[in-house]
Amino acid sequence: MPVDPSPPQRRQFAAHEIVFREGDIADAAYVIESGCVEILVGSEGSWRRIAMLAEGTLVGEIALLDGKPRTATVRALVPTSLVPIYRNQVESLLAQADPVLQYLMRVLLARLRRSGDTIAAGAAASPEAGPPATTASAAIGSDTDPLQRLHASAMRAFTIAQGLAHAFDADQLELHYQPIIHLRSRRLAGYEALIRWQHPSLGMVRPDEFVTLAEKTDLVHRLGDFVLNRAVRDWPALRAFCADGEGIRPFISINLSAPELCQPGIVEQVRARLADGAMDPAELRIELTETSIIGNTGVVTDVIQRLMSMGVSLALDDFGKGYSGLDYLQSLPFSCLKIDKSFIDRMAVSERSEQIIRTALQLAGTLGMSSVAEGIEDAATGERLAELGCVYAQGYHFARPMPVTAIGAWARGFSGYTRPVTSANDRAPDRAP
């Protein structure tokens, strides 16, 4: 739900006016903009003041946890201005937050409510007594509780965050390779390298779960280095199965995000790795998404231009997902357009989607770029894309990402893109998500 961008409405209270009463259904907390309020417990006529709060503090914040009745009455002591913060606003902000932050916020609010309940019941009238001790599990409730699920996902995020640095040292990361097929000739042209983490207790962790985390820390440097090293090291073995000639030039694509490309020394690092592996730079392709370029255009453009001058090529990844501004096609020298799976999926049911794909392919052709369609899951889609002039395709219909050791068996079984992918692999390819 989008957060209402309109400015908060203030609420004015005269001296001694009630802001809310114990038992009222709560939907907002209030920031005290000016003035002062008192918190009262007990029944009307025999209220007991348990606190006074002045300008700059928050009152009624337990309403941010749930819609349960207020546990105390709040009354203005002097003319007071309050800015409400509605629970639905906070909920929508929280929904977009990191699961660890969501979890911490909810546990703290749950503890606050318990201490509020205790105070209201008169069991702990003294603020010095502090809130009763609660364990996280007591605060978050039963297995079916949404908070319990949040607890599980926060624990997973903690485990991933804590284990990532060790994953590099403990050799838990792997690079898998997904074949990319030249549609017209139906031959294997190249691969996309996709990172995998075999976690000792969580099992296979998907890149979406840890790549962004690495990007926010120093580990981003190690991630890019690992991918580059592995891809260059595995390239001779992978290249051996690719078609070469008759318009097909074997290549391997790696994903580098803007934070990775912005690392100091990245160009020299790529140059050194390619030299160490005696790899032709023209066979390395870097995939970059529009979302990762936004906000980093200056540095990224400079790095890309230096990589291009070395002979490395550049693909615009996930085209059609997100912004799809055509700006980057003007400002960066992309040589390949990768059309996102979401477009490909709609192609069979939407004439409009097919038109957009046709136009994107024409645009790529006009600009002298090649094209890759992503996420092909059936033969008919592959056939149709070939008719529309798409150059390459990638998807589970042809092959799932797999370790380098599995490529040979797959390649020997692959005889054209209408053949369903059966795997007599040395090691199993990725399972379906």
Closest CA to 392 of 250, 231, 284: 250
Measured CA to CA, the distance from residue 307 to residue 126 in angstroms comes to: 67
Closest CA to 396 of 385, 382, 408: 382
Which of 32, 211, 360, 402 contacts ligand C2E by CB under 6 A? Answer: 211
Which of 128, 169, 171, 208 contacts ligand C2E by CB under 6 A? Answer: 208
**Residue 48 touching ligand C2E (CB under 6 A):** no
Contact 301, 331 (CB under 8 A): yes
Q: In degrees to the nearest 10, what's the CA dihedral of 108, 120, 25, 17?
A: -110
Which of 35, 250, 382, 395 contacts ligand C2E by CB under 6 A? Answer: 395
Question: Residue written as tokens 């540095």?
Answer: 299
Measured CA to CA, the distance from residue 285 to residue 314 in angstroms comes to: 5
Q: Is 89 left (phi over 0), alpha (psi -120 to 50) or beta?
A: alpha
Output the residue with the shortest Cβ distance to Ca ion: 287
Partner whose binding site includes residue 61, from ligand C2E, Ca ion, none (CB under 5 to 8 Å by kind):
none
Q: Interface with ligand C2E by CB under 6 A: which range of 6-14, 96-104, 123-131, 252-260?
A: 252-260
Which of 73, 102, 257, 371 contacts ligand C2E by CB under 6 A? Answer: 257
79, 291, 318, 379 from 325: Cα distances, Å:
52, 10, 12, 30
Measured CA to CA, the distance from residue 412 to residue 137 in angstroms comes to: 53
**CB of residue 286 to Ca ion, shortest distance in Å:** 10
**CB of residue 179 to ligand C2E, shortest distance in Å:** 10
**CB of residue 5 to ligand C2E, shortest distance in Å:** 30
**Residue 317 touching Ca ion (CB under 5 A):** yes
Structure tokens at 71: 């546990």
**Residue 314 touching ligand C2E (CB under 6 A):** no
**Residue 318 touching ligand C2E (CB under 6 A):** yes
**Residue 287 touching Ca ion (CB under 5 A):** yes
Query: For residues 114 and 321, which CB has a smaller minimum distance to Ca ion in the complex?
Result: 321
Task: Enumerate binding residues for ligand C2E (CB under 6 A).
Answer: 178, 194-195, 206-208, 211, 227, 255-257, 260, 287, 317-318, 341, 375-377, 394-396, 401
